[in-house]
Every structure is written in C-alpha cells, then in structure tokens.
Chain A
Amino acid sequence: MRRMLTLFCAALILFAPLLLAGRPAAAGPQGKLVYIVAADIVRGLFQATGTVCVQTNVFKLGEEVVWRVTVFDASNGADPAEDGKNLTALTERGIKVTVYLENGMSFPLRYARHPGKGDPAAWLWATGWRIPDDFPTGRLKWWLVVTDKTGAFVRFDPIGFGTNLGAAPLIIEKR
C-alpha cells in the first residue's frame, strides 16, 4: 500500500508541471495572434472619377475599390512568403485572406507582385471590386479575415470600425 502511495506521489510530482503547462491560463494567449495584418483601400483604374491609386474610402458608383493587405508572421515580423521567394509556404500554411462587406459579399485576395512589372516592387495581397452602377448608395462596413490550416483566425477592422466616423466604412455615392 505504502509503495503504491509512494509511486503515485512520485508520478504526480513528475507529471504535475506537464499538466499545468497545458492549462490555458498558464499558456497565455500565444498562438492566437499569429499574423500582423495591415490593410488599406485605394481607388482602382476602372471608371475612376478622381486620382487613381490613392487611398480613399469614398467611391462613386461604377468605380473600383481595391483592397491591399500585408500579412506578417507575428513571431518574426516577416512575410511568410518571403516577398515572393517562397510561395509554397503560403500553400503549406494554407493562408487565406478574405474581405467581407456587411451585406454578405466577400472577396478572396490574391498574393502577387505590385507593380506587376518593373522594380522596385512589393509583394502583397490584393483584390478589386467594381461597384455596380445600380448598387445602393450609402455607408458599407468592411473588414477582412486571415486564416490558415492551423486554425489561425485574425480579423482586421479599419480604425474607428463600429463608430459613426467617416473613415471606417466604404462610402458609396452617386456618380
């Protein structure tokens, strides 16, 4: 009986640190915020009514909204695809970047070189949306989500999201 008790206590002492290390309270939030995301929106070339490729959140019907996003690994601050040199890393990690509009529309972003030709260039995620001519005018919230195969889920909201500030949503006006 005493031997069993001794063995039990020895096992408890040996394994207690392992059991405790697995508790969420001790592990902290590490692994949650695995990506650092930056995003902006610029006016695309299509039917532009103002200067092209400058940041704005105010668009006219028929114009093109372009989302541009960078995704960096939070552990080292580096682009997982190493500025286009390691595209397989994106596939291996299964990184997906998607923009969502509050009306249910969503747009997957594609990782590519910008500008397409010429140097210097930057590698980033981008997508464009041509606002239909008959789209309802007004304010439209947007956000984006980065996911990967490991279950990472990082949401980016524009600064001031959820307030009535003018810079957070897309503002769509008549042409």
Chain B
Amino acid sequence: MRGKQLLIGAAVLLLVLPLLAQLPGAAAPRPRLPYWVMADVIRGDTLGAQSSIFKQGDEVVFRARVLDIATGQDPGRAGQGLKALQELGLKVTAYLEDGKSFPMTYGRHPAQASGREPVSWFWTASWRIPDGYTGPHDAGTLVIPVRGARYVKWWVMVTDKAGANVRWDPIGVGTNLNPIGLIIEKR
C-alpha cells in the first residue's frame, strides 16, 4: 500500500516539476546585462554608408540593434513582436554629450522594400546637423588630429519597464581615439 502511494507521489512529482521549471520565478537569475546593444552611425544620404565624420547640414542616422541576452533574439522578432516591445516598455535613445537626445523607433529597413528584397528590423533616429552647429571639442586634439573640425561624443541607452538600463558607447570611449565622437566639419 505504502509502495503504491510512493509510486503515485513520484508520478505526480514527475508531472509537476517540468511545469515548475517553466514558471518565471523558477527561471535562472536574469543576467545583469539584459540586452546586447549594437549601434553605429551612417550618412542620411542615398548610399547610407557608415561614417563618423560629417559636415554641418548633413544628416546623421543613428542605428541600433537590441537583442535579449537570455535568448540572443530580437525582442521585436523582426516586426512580429511589436506588442512584446510595448509590454517590455523597451526604449532606445541616442544621446549627444551636449544634452541633445533622439528617441529611436523600431522599424523595417529598407522601409520601401520591393518584392522579396531582404529587410532587417532595428532602431533608428536621425539628426540634421544645424548649419551653425559646433561640437564641444576641438577635433585637432584627437589622436589623429582633424584640423578645423569639432567633435561631440554620443552614446545609446536602452531601458525597459523592469528597470533595465544598458548603455552602449562607441569603441574607445574614454580615449582620444578618433571614432569616439561625431566629427563635424564646416561646410
């Protein structure tokens, strides 16, 4: 009789344990960095090439890709998970050190893809550099000086409702290496 009870108990446990393992509370601790952020800047012209050097009046396009570190996947699931993004409260913002900020929007690129043209989903924001804009630093002080130009540092922040706060800086932040900022020349 006791053996039968034990057998039933074991069977119940075997059924219940996998369910418990799937509960959020039973999941592994969330990594300290919840998102893998990648970002770059491109020119806002037809070619859209990468660049960190611009002229006044040019358009800078900030681009960012945000992946969930736990899964390695885009939480927006290439446009199929827009509701999930809202639920997460995911916000991606590009900042300039002079106080300007640009909220980025999650969208399809190229936006006007034709037929079976491959597309990619990521976050973007753009900034038309005002004609009179001058960055806070002299680009002549960079490791490889760029005479007559100025630069402004930039970074990207990713936040969500759960309190995640991930900052992405260009490679070499904290140094005077040239790609740390947007170099802006007079037109």
A residues at B contact (CB < 8 Å): 2, 5-6, 9-10, 12-13, 16-17, 20-21, 23, 25-30, 32-33, 36-42, 51-58, 68-70, 74-77, 114-115, 118, 120-122, 124, 156, 158-167, 171
- Asked if A166 contacts B109 (CB within 8 A), the reply is no
With A and B bound together, what is the CA distance between A54 and B170 in angstroms?
A: 12
Provided the pairs A38-B171, A115-B175, A167-B50 are in contact, do residues A162 and B118 lie with their beta carbons within 8 angstroms?
yes
Q: Which residues of B contact A39 (CB under 8 A)?
A: 171
Q: Is the CB of B50 within 8 A of A25?
A: no
The residues in B between 147 and 184 inclusive whose CB is less than 8 angstroms from any CB of A are 168, 170-179, 183
CB distance from A63 to the nearest CB of B (A): 14
Digit string of B102-124 for contact with A (CB within 8 Å is 1, else 0)? 00000001100000011110100
> In this assembly, does B3 line the interface, its C-beta being within 8 Å of a C-beta of chain A?
yes
Per the bound structure, the CA–CA distance linking A76 and B13 in Å amounts to 35
Taken together as a complex, chains A and B put the C-alpha atoms of A37 and B155 apart, in Å, by 16
Please report the C-alpha to C-alpha distance between residue A17 and residue B13 in the assembled complex, in whole angstroms.
9
Give A74 to B67 CA distance when docked, in angstroms. Answer: 12
The 3 A-B pairs with the shortest beta carbon distances in the complex, nearest first, are A9-B6, A5-B3, A26-B21
Q: List 7 A-B contacts (CB under 8 A).
A: A6-B6, A28-B27, A28-B28, A51-B183, A58-B47, A75-B31, A164-B117
Q: Does the CB pair B13–A13 fall under 8 Å?
A: yes
B82 in contact (CB, < 8 A):
no
Known contacts A54-B52, A163-B120; A30 and B33 CB within 8 A of each other? no
Cβ–Cβ contact B177 & A33, under 8 A: no
B179 and A54 contact, CB distance less than 8 A: yes
Contact A70 B117 (CB under 8 A): no
Q: Does B90 contact A (CB under 8 A)?
A: no
Kindly identify which residue among A16, A29, A115, A171 contacts B17, using a CB–CB cutoff of 8 Å: A16
Residues of A close to B67: CB separation below 8 A: 33
Report the minimal beta-carbon distance from B15 to chain A, rounded to whole angstroms: 10
Whether B2 and A29, one on each chain, are in contact in the complex, defined by CB atoms closer than 8 angstroms, is: no
Question: Cβ of B48: which chain A residues have Cβ within 8 Å of it?
Answer: 165-167
Given A5-B3, A74-B31, A160-B120, verify A30-B63 contact (CB < 8 Å): no
Docked CA distance A42–B172 (Å): 12
Interface string of B3-19 (1 = CB under 8 A from A): 10011011001100110
On whether the beta carbons of B18 and A26 are closer than 8 Å, the reply is yes
Whether B3 contacts A9 by the Cβ 8 Å rule is yes
Is residue B65 within 8 Å, beta carbon to beta carbon, of the partner chain?
yes
Contact A16 to B3, CB < 8 A, known contacts A55-B52, A70-B171, A77-B33: no
B21 x A25 contact (CB < 8 A): yes
Contact A159 B65 (CB under 8 A): yes
Instruction: State whether A54 and B63 are in contact (beta carbons under 8 Å apart), knowing that A42-B179, A74-B31, A164-B118 are contacts in the complex.
Output: no
Among residues of A, the one whose C-beta sits closest to the C-beta of B172 is A122
Q: Closest chain B residue to A11 by CB distance?
A: B10
The answer on a CB contact under 8 Å between B50 and A53 is no
* Chain B residue nearest to A55 in the complex (CB): B52
| Given A6-B6, A25-B22, A166-B48, 4 new contacts (CB under 8 A) | A9-B7, A37-B36, A163-B119, A167-B63
